[in-house]
Amino acid sequence: MTKFIKIIRRTLLIFLIAIPICAFAHFVLFPQQTRSILIDYSDLQKDGRLYFNYSAPQNKIDTIKLLMEIASNRVAGFWGQKTCNPTFIYCESEDDFKKYGSPYQVPALTHVKLGSYIVISHDGIDLDIIAHEISHAEFYERIGFYNWSFKIPAWFDEGLAMQNDYRDYYSEDTLRVKSNNYKDLPDVKNLTSGKQFNGEGTREQIKLNFMTAKHEVKNWYTKEKLDQLIKDINSGKSFDEVFGK
Ligand SMILES: [Zn+2]
């Protein structure tokens, strides 16, 4: 056997051993993400882009599909067009949500890795929540995994998603009241990681983070600025360089 064939064989063998080890490690570290990525191999039923358990009532599935469509149009209106095509996973039971979504009590969330996966709980059947999640998927689609994971601070990603989330509780009026007419706003721009932004503090403080991030992005936003930011981020610039400190 030539030396070349030996090297090829050895490399293949290393790959064959490394792939299952990496897949297993990913499952241990990110069980919900891994299950969502492998959703085609689950026992969930599929209707278009939506996966759900057989026990979910048909009227709920019809409602979710309708909300997905209206929310997609809202997101397309904000971004000019919708370029993402996320997978949706509806979890009727809490156990299913823990399996695919999160062990924490949130109404919905978006996993982004090898595509985007929007996991909706029973409490997430809501136009604003679904539009919010599709916005995350759209931003991810436009900047890619590396930029989304390592360059974009959590406050900006959430503030941007909140532009398509019209829930009253997060409105400007609510913020004005809760922040003593904008005098007591949290310093959200220092909340760069997801943990800092929505994993620390009381529920009220976290809600205030979301409202404030929405307010900051709203004051900054124009379609041109957002397009430029994406262009600059994709060309290698850092968020601070583009957005300014
Ligand atoms: Zn969000």
User: In angstroms, what is the C-alpha Rg of the chain?
Assistant: 20
pLDDT at 28 over 80: no
| Residue 39 domain flag | yes
Q: How far is Cα 50 from Cα 83, in angstroms, rounded to an integer?
A: 17
Same domain membership, residue 156 and residue 120 = no
Same domain membership, residue 87 and residue 28 = yes
CA of 58 to the centre of ligand 1 (A): 27
- Residue 187 C-alpha from the chain's centroid: 22
Band (pLDDT 50/70/90 cuts) for residue 14 is: confident
Same domain membership, residue 224 and residue 208 = yes
CA of 240 to the centre of ligand 1 (A): 21
Contacts 24+ apart (CB under 8 A), 155-158: 155/188, 155/189, 155/191, 155/192, 155/197, 155/209, 155/213, 155/216, 156/213, 156/217, 156/239, 156/243, 158/197, 158/198, 158/209, 158/210, 158/213, 158/214
pLDDT for 82: 94
pLDDT for 245: 59
Structural domain that includes position 37: 18-143
57-71, 131-145, 173-187: the lowest-pLDDT one: 173-187
CA of 184 to the centre of ligand 1 (A): 23
Q: Hey, what are 132's tokens?
A: 């919010």
| Residue 125 domain flag | yes
Same domain membership, residue 139 and residue 190 = no
Same domain membership, residue 105 and residue 59 = yes
CA of 130 to the centre of ligand 1 (A): 10
Provide the mean pLDDT of the chain: 93
Q: How far is Cα 162 from Cα 116, in angstroms, rounded to an integer?
A: 18
pLDDT at 1 over 80: no
pLDDT at 220 over 70: yes
Same domain membership, residue 161 and residue 114 = no
Same domain membership, residue 169 and residue 57 = no
8-17, 41-50, 53-62, 136-145: the lowest-pLDDT one: 8-17
CA of 15 to the centre of ligand 1 (A): 36
Can you give the CATH number for the domain in which 70 is found? 3.40.30
Q: Is the pTM of this model over 0.75?
A: yes
